[in-house]
Amino acid sequence: MKHGQSVENRPVRGDARPGGAIARLARGASIETSTRNVADVTGYAPLVPPGTEVHVTFLPGTPYHHVLSVAARLRQVGLEPVPHLAARRFASAAAVADFTARLRDEAGVTRILLIAGDSATGAGAFSSSLQVLETGVLQACGIRSIGVAGYPEGHPKIPTSVLDEALERKIRYAETHGIDLFVVTQFCFDGHALLDWMRRLRGRGITLPVRIGVAGPATVRTLLFYAVRCGIGASMKALGSGPVSLARLLDRRGPERLVATIAPHADELDIAGLHLFPFGGFAESARWIADAAAGRFSLGERDEDVELTS
């Protein structure tokens, strides 16, 4: 099974040195924002390059109009909004169509990330992202670039075989209907686990563009909180071993070691780029992207004091 890559998602090839590979992954990285404060969006433009893809999360309890307002503001300040569409939040295909059409018309949205959503039960007709995709509503509203989630450590509630079959059905549907499908992975902390997952994906003949999700700089306490919440406990040991103390919990960690692990294999595995989960704040993750893209990348004293430059 094959699926071609869109121009905007193809990995950039060139300098094979570790620092160069890291910089290529960071250039054009996407990043997320929540919908808590629309006014904050104005401050994003100086922090990231024009046209940067900013994903708008669709958290439980978030009203549709908040997602729409953030997407519209991102467009106004010169950034590319990529709203998340959570299948379980919608009562019907008509509700999906109304929301998608408004995103298109009021925020110029051309790409979305289609997810199931964290709700235990659906609000109506849908329990999975696949069900929304197969309605045809998204392409009917002019959305033909659609992202889906990838799970390098598996899903805490869904068997791997079910995830695999769902992805294959999405690919078949996309190929038949002219949809540009791409993958954004859940974050994890273990670069080797990510590489194993990517090799398994490519070994199955799947050539979809994949953005690797990484946790932006944050305290260890914050990272542990989100790891447990998102069900990725298997790689928490990559945050470091040793006695738990308040000082250690307040240490700040970034994705340096993970990125350094995967970067030398980016060309081999056709990794399209990075996607930052800004658990420590949008500004700090944006600075991390800028530093990595410019070759200012250090593993730091706690990680053998190794510095990589492009």
The full DSSP string for 211-222 is EEEEEPSEEHHH
Spatial neighbors of 98 by CB under 8 A, at least 6 apart, are: none
pLDDT value, residue 117: 85
Q: What is the pLDDT of residue 1?
A: 45
d(CA 237, CA 299): 17
- The predicted model scores a pTM of 0.86
Amino acid at 20: G
At residue 123, the pLDDT reads: 61
The token pair that represents 94 in the structure block? 């008509």
Contacts for 157 with CB less than 8 Å, ≥ 6 apart = 231
b or e along 146-165 (b: 16 or more beta carbons within 10 Å of the residue's beta carbon)? bbbbbbbbbbeeeeeeeeee
DSSP secondary structure letter of residue 245: -
List the CATH code of the domain at 14-289: 3.20.20.220
CB distance 175 to 3 below 8 Å: yes
Query: What Cα–Cα distance (Å) separates residue 103 from each residue in 110, 264, 281?
Result: 9, 38, 25
Tens place of pLDDT per residue across the chain (310 aa): 454 444 344 444 444 445 688 999 999 899 999 877 898 999 999 999 999 999 999 888 888 899 999 999 999 999 999 999 999 999 999 999 999 999 999 999 999 999 998 765 556 789 999 999 999 999 999 999 999 999 998 888 889 999 999 999 999 999 999 999 999 999 999 999 999 999 999 999 999 999 999 999 998 888 887 777 776 766 666 665 555 555 556 677 789 989 999 999 999 999 999 999 999 999 999 999 999 999 887 765 444 333 333 3
pLDDT at position 259 is 95
pLDDT at residue 77, as a whole number? 97
